[in-house]
Amino acid sequence: MADKETMTSRQRVQKALNHEIPDRVPIDLGGFQTGIHRKAYADLLAYLGIRDDITILDPVQQLAVPCEEILERFGVDVRYVCAHGPDSFKGSIEQNKRSGKLWHDLRDEFGVVWSMPDDQQLYMDISHHPLAYADIRDLAEYPFPTGCDPTRFTGVREKASELRKETPYAISTGIGGVVYEICWYMRGLERWFIDMIENPAFCEALLDKTLAFWIDYYTLFMAEIGDLVDVVMIGDDLSGQSGPLFSPEFYRKIVKPRQKRLVRHIKSLTDAKIWYHTCGSVTQYIGDLLDNGIDILNPVQTSAEGMDPTELKATYGDRLAFWGGAIDAQHVLPFASPGEIKEHVRGNLEVFKPGGGYVFNNVHNIQAGVPPENVVALFDAALEFGSY
C-alpha cells in the first residue's frame, strides 16, 4: 500500500473534503464518535501484541485513546486536539454505594450526573437531571458554566502547532456545539418532550443558554487554533432508527435557527470544515443541515431507514462529505467473519469513494465485544480497497 501513497495525511483529508480525488480514502479512528471502547481496545492490543497503558478519552462512553502504534498500523490520517474543563471545574469520578451496588458517578459542568454500575463498566448513563423540576424563572439563577473561561484552552495551541509543524496529519477538534441535546440532559428526556408541546418558551430559553455557552466557547477556541485545525466537530442527535426523534416542525422553527447561528459563527472564525454528528435516519434533515452550513455528515448510519449509501451519495455527494458509513456496526461488524467484513467494506467503498468527499470510519464507536480480528479486517480492507 505504501508505494501507492503520494500524499500526506493532511493533504489526503483536505483533498477528500474538498470533493477532489486523493491518492486513497482517508481513514479516521480515535474521536468521540469515531473511537473505540476501552474493552475492545484492550482486546485489540492483546491480539496485535502491542503494549499500551490505556488512557480514557471519554468516561461517559468509556472510549480509549488509541496509541500511535495502532493509529499508524491502520493508516489513520486524523489527530485530535481537544479543549478541556476550566481550572475551576473538578470533573473527577466518585464511587458511591446505592441500594447495595457500587456506582461510578460523574457530575459534568452543566450539573448532569452520569453513572455506571461497577459490575458492568460499559458506559455511563444519566442518573440526575438538574432542571427536572425547574420553571423558566429558575433558568436566570441556575449556575450555567462559562464558555469563555480561557483556562479551558490552556495548551491547545501548543499541541495543534506541534501537530501542524511536526506531523503529516490532519487536525480535528473533539466534539462540541451540543446545543440541543444538553437541554434534555438537564431537563430529562420525557419532561423535555412534554415541554416541546406544552411549554416551548421554556425550551427556547434553555436553548438560548446552551447556544450562548457554545458561542463563547468557540470564540475563544478558534482564536487559539482556528488557523491550524482542518475540521471542527459539532453535533446533536436528531433522529433514531426510523426517522426524527421529535417534530421536524419544532426542529425547523426553534432548534435549527440556533444551530445555524452557531455554524455560521464558527465559520466566521476559521476556514476549517464543519463536521456534524447525528445518528439515525436523517434524510429529512440533510437539506436543513446543508442550509445551516455544515460540510460533513457523521456517522452515516447505513442500517437506519432511508440511509442507503447509493442514494445518499447520488443525492448529496456533490455538496456533502460523508465521514463514517464503512460498515453496518449493529449487525455486521460484531458478528460477521473477517472475510465478510472485507466484502462489506469493499461494497461501501465502491459507493462512497468516487469523486472524493469521503472519510472512512465505522458507523460510530467500536463497541465492547467486537472481535479484534474484525477490527483489523475493517481497517485493512480500507487500505486494500481505498486506493484511487
- pLDDT for residue 90 is more than 80: yes
* Residue-level pLDDT at 211: 98
* Residues in CB range of 308: below 8 A, 6 or more apart: 302
pLDDT band at 257 (very low <50, low <70, confident <90, very high): very high
* Residue-level pLDDT at 285: 98
Q: What's the pLDDT tens digit per position in 152-184? A: 999 999 999 999 999 999 999 999 999 999 999
Going by the DSSP 8-state scheme, the letter that residue 146 receives in this structure is P
* Residue-level pLDDT at 91: 86
* Residue-level pLDDT at 4: 78
Peptide bond just before 309 cis, omega within 30 deg: no
* Residue-level pLDDT at 3: 54
User: For 141-199, where are the alpha helices, taking DSSP H only?
Assistant: 156-166, 181-187, 189-198
Q: Which residues face 96 on adjacent strands? A: 103
pLDDT, greater one: 172 or 90: 172
Kind and range of the H or E element at 26?
A: none
pTM greater than 0.85 (yes/no): yes
- pLDDT for residue 225 is more than 70: yes
Residue 105 Cα distances to 56, 111, 175, angstroms: 15, 12, 22
* Residue-level pLDDT at 99: 87
Contact 106, 62 (CB under 8 A): no
Q: What's the pLDDT tens digit per position in 345-368? A: 999 999 999 999 999 999 999 999
Torsion of CA 208, 210, 214, 216, to 10 degrees: 60
Q: What's the pLDDT tens digit per position in 23-68? A: 999 999 999 999 999 999 999 999 999 999 999 999 999 999 999 9
Q: What's the pLDDT tens digit per position in 93-110? A: 999 999 899 999 999 999
* Residue-level pLDDT at 190: 97
Q: Which residues face 144 on adjacent strands? A: none
Residue 278 Cα distances to 225, 320, 345, 366, angstroms: 25, 14, 21, 16
Taking residues 210-222, what's their average pLDDT? 98
* Residue-level pLDDT at 197: 97
